[in-house]
Each structure stands twice: as structure tokens, then as C-alpha cells.
């Protein structure tokens, strides 16, 4: 795939002004308030993995609607805290898999929580274990158009709330330093990371890697690839719902969350990425921290990559960068 989006120089200054609903903050304030009115019911069960250097725990906590959300928590075996932590979110369609897959952050000395994405975890990898008890109106197979008719019913309202509660859960642990919690994720995980960045104050760091879930309208105009293509497919069938669909999505846009963020951030973007086109990533990056002052942010550019982005290079970069933060 060659370059297909704005020229690299134009991307660096691409600063679209996305429409936001007036009640954006009220919507999320109410949503999180309701979620936090339910007890976290945090449970950790240690699991036997054959790994001597780390301890792994099968975690359950109450997410949106009090629904049980699964996660793996992995931490250095013989270290006492309080420790810094990293909360990580997953790419589209995948699940938390098995503890042996996700060892880097614990090996780097962090308590690491990997949150399952509700209803997903069945398309690739070693599987997810969290259902989504909520149904939806007519929807394209996938997750982007579930509840597309109303932001209150949209799938990602639930997921973003789960993610906020995952941070709450980690912060509540005895051996975690609640002021030292970072969030990270790739693709969908990057989009969820952005949502958390705008919803949760006091994060140590925000690390969205080739993030999904940003600037939906442009995404549908510049790429036909899935999963943004689910929106296109939905609107190709439900021909009269264009305004309604984008209104719903305006409550869920990574660009709007990024504007509200104030923690240090390390993004990545791949210039040949047709899944999460670079202009949608830069839309979030260039708006990141717009409402704060002196926000530390940086973006790693992978000029010849598609959606795989930087992979282990970015992870190594994140480990190094995070260690430098005060």
C-alpha cells in the first residue's frame, strides 16, 4: 500500500475541528457516575502458569451496568509495592488470551492489567472470556454499529466505562501506586486509551498506538477497510440515518477525548495504515491536550508501515519513555 492520505507534512498540522455535542461532558459525567455507584466487586484469583518470575491473577470487576469484566493481572513475583501500573486495552476482535502472552510490562516492573473487551475475543488469538449482556438494534456484524441509534446504548459507551473502571480497580490495589497508573493500547486499544485519557484525571501516562475510534466521518471518507467500514456498510443499508449515526458517534470520538486529556502522551502512527488512516490519528494527536497547557506529547511515525505500526519497536520505545517520566 502506498501513501494514500494527506502528505506527511500536511498531517503534522492537520487540526480538524470536530463537532461535539453540547452535552458531551454531561453525558460522560452521568455515565461514569452511574457506573461508580455500583461496587467494583474486584476479585483476583491467582492462576498457575508455570511462570516463576511473575504472578498472574484472573481478575473480575464490575464494569458498565455492573457487568462482570475479566482481565489478567500480572506482576513481578517477588517485589513488594507500591508499584507503578500499566492498564492495557486490546485490539478489535481479540481477547485477553492467556497470561504467557503478555509479560513485558510485568517484566519491566509494573503491575499490568490487561482488560478483556466485552463480547469480543473470538476472532483471533487465544480467546476472550467476557460477554456483553446488552443487546442492540439492527447492526452490522461487529461492534461499531451496536446501539448506533443512541449514544446511551452504544457499545463503546459500555466499553469505555469498563476501561475507566479498570483503572479504578488497579488504583484500588494495595500494592499499586494510584498516582502512577499509565494506560496503553494498540488500534482499538489505542482508541480506548484515548477515551480513558479524557475521562480519568491524574494518569501517569497515555500511550495510544495507531489508535482506532477517531474522527469517524473522515475515516469513512478516506478508507473502505474494516472496521471503520462497518459504519459505511450500516449507512449503505440504513440510508436515511447519516446525521443520527454521526451524532451518536460524536459522543465517542477519540478526538474529543484527546482534547480533554492532560497526561503525558506517546502516540504512534503508520503512514500507510488503511485501517486507521494517519489523518484520523493526527486528528487526535494534534488535538491532544488542547484544553490543557504544556501537555507533554510525542508521536512516533512509522512511514512505511501499515496497521501493524511499530510493534515491538513501539513497545520498547514505550518502556523506555515511561521510565523517563517523573
Q: How far apart are CA 228 and CA 235, in angstroms?
A: 12
Q: How far apart are CA 123 and CA 142, in angstroms?
A: 11
- For 321, counting Cβ atoms within 10 Å of its Cβ (0-12 exposed, 13-18 middle, 19+ buried), the class is middle
Q: How far apart are CA 58 and CA 70, in angstroms?
A: 7
Residue from the set 51, 290, 295, 325 that interacts with its own copies by CB under 8 A: 51
The distance of closest approach from Cβ of residue 139 to its own copies in the complex, given in angstroms and rounded to an integer, is 6
What phi and psi, each to the nearest 5 degrees, are found at residue 304? -115, 15
Using the rule CB under 8 A, is 316 a contact of its own copies?
yes
The distance of closest approach from Cβ of residue 202 to its own copies in the complex, given in angstroms and rounded to an integer, is 24
Residue from the set 10, 53, 152, 292 that interacts with its own copies by CB under 8 A: 53
Using the rule CB under 8 A, is 1 a contact of its own copies?
yes
Using the rule CB under 8 A, is 81 a contact of its own copies?
no
> Quick check: bond before 227 cis, omega within 30?
yes
Using the rule CB under 8 A, is 72 a contact of its own copies?
no
Q: Residue 16 or residue 131: which is nearer to its own copies going by CB?
A: 131
Per CB under 8 A, contacts with its own copies among 106-125 are 106-109, 119-125
If phi > 0 it is left, if psi is from -120 to 50 it is alpha, else beta; for residue 125 that is left
Q: Residue 110 or residue 257: which is nearer to its own copies going by CB?
A: 110
Per CB under 8 A, contacts with its own copies among 225-284 are 232-240, 242, 272
What phi and psi, each to the nearest 5 degrees, are found at residue 180? -125, 45
Using the rule CB under 8 A, is 161 a contact of its own copies?
no
Q: How far apart are CA 190 and CA 269, in angstroms?
A: 11
Size of the site for its own copies (CB under 8 A): 80
Give the DSSP letter of residue 120.
-
Q: How far apart are CA 88 and CA 66, in angstroms?
A: 20
Using the rule CB under 8 A, is 68 a contact of its own copies?
no
CB-CB contact of 51 with 99 (8 Å): yes
Residue from the set 6, 139, 290, 295 that interacts with its own copies by CB under 8 A: 139
Q: Residue 258 or residue 279: which is nearer to its own copies going by CB?
A: 279
Per CB under 8 A, contacts with its own copies among 172-211 are none
Residue from the set 9, 17, 50, 243 that interacts with its own copies by CB under 8 A: 50
Residue from the set 134, 290, 295, 325 that interacts with its own copies by CB under 8 A: 134
Q: Around Cβ 48, how many Cβ atoms within 10 Å?
A: 7
Using the rule CB under 8 A, is 145 a contact of its own copies?
yes
Catalytic residues: 187, 273, 307
- For 45, counting Cβ atoms within 10 Å of its Cβ (0-12 exposed, 13-18 middle, 19+ buried), the class is exposed
Using the rule CB under 8 A, is 128 a contact of its own copies?
yes
Using the rule CB under 8 A, is 46 a contact of its own copies?
no
Q: Residue 33 or residue 239: which is nearer to its own copies going by CB?
A: 239
Using the rule CB under 8 A, is 10 a contact of its own copies?
no
Amino acid at each position: 500500500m502506498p501513501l494514500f492520505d494527506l502528505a506527511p507534512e500536511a498531517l503534522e498540522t492537520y487540526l480538524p475541528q470536530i463537532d461535539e455535542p453540547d452535552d458531551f461532558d454531561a453525558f460522560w459525567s452521568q455515565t461514569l457516575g452511574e457506573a461508580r455507584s455500583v461496587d467494583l466487586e474486584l476479585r483476583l484469583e491467582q492462576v498457575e502458569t508455570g511462570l516463576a518470575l511473575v504472578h498472574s491473577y484472573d481478575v473480575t470487576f464490575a464494569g458498565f451496568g455492573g457487568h462482570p469484566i475479566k482481565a489478567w493481572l500480572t506482576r513481578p513475583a517477588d517485589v513488594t509495592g507500591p508499584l507503578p501500573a500499566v492498564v492495557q486495552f486490546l485490539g478489535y476482535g481479540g481477547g485477553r488470551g492467556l497470561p504467557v502472552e503478555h509479560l513485558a510490562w510485568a517484566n519491566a516492573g509494573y503491575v499490568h492489567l490487561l482488560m478483556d473487551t466485552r463480547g469480543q475475543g473470538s476472532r483471533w488469538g487465544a480467546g476472550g472470556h467476557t460477554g456483553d449482556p446488552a443487546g442492540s438494534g439492527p447492526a452490522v456484524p461487529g461492534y461499531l454499529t451496536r446501539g448506533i441509534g443512541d449514544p446511551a446504548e452504544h457499545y463503546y459507551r459500555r466499553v469505555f466505562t469498563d476501561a475507566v473502571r479498570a483503572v479504578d480497580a488497579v488504583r484500588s490495589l494495595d500494592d499499586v501506586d494510584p498516582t502512577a497508573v499509565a494506560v496503553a493500547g494498540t488500534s482499538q486499544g489505542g482508541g480506548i486509551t484515548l477515551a480513558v485519557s479524557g475521562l480519568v484525571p491524574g494518569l501517569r501516562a497515555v500511550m495510544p498506538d495507531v489508535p482506532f475510534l477517531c474522527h469517524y466521518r473522515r475515516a469513512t471518507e478516506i478508507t473502505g477497510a474494516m472496521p471503520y467500514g462497518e459504519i459505511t456498510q450500516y449507512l449503505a443499508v440504513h440510508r436515511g440515518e447519516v446525521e443520527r449515526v454521526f451524532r451518536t458517534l460524536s459522543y465517542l470520538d477519540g478526538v474529543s477525548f484527546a482534547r480533554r486529556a492532560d497526561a503525558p502522551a506517546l502516540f504512534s502512527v503508520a503512514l500507510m495504515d488503511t485501517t486507521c488512516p494517519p489523518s484520523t490519528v493526527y486528528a487526535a494527536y494534534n488535538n491532544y491536550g488542547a484544553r490543557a497547557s504544556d501537555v507533554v506529547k510525542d508521536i512516533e511515525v512509522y512511514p512505511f508501515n501499515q496497521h501493524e505500526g511499530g510493534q515491538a519497536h513501539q513497545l520498547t520505545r514505550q518502556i523506555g519513555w515511561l521510565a523517563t517520566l517523573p
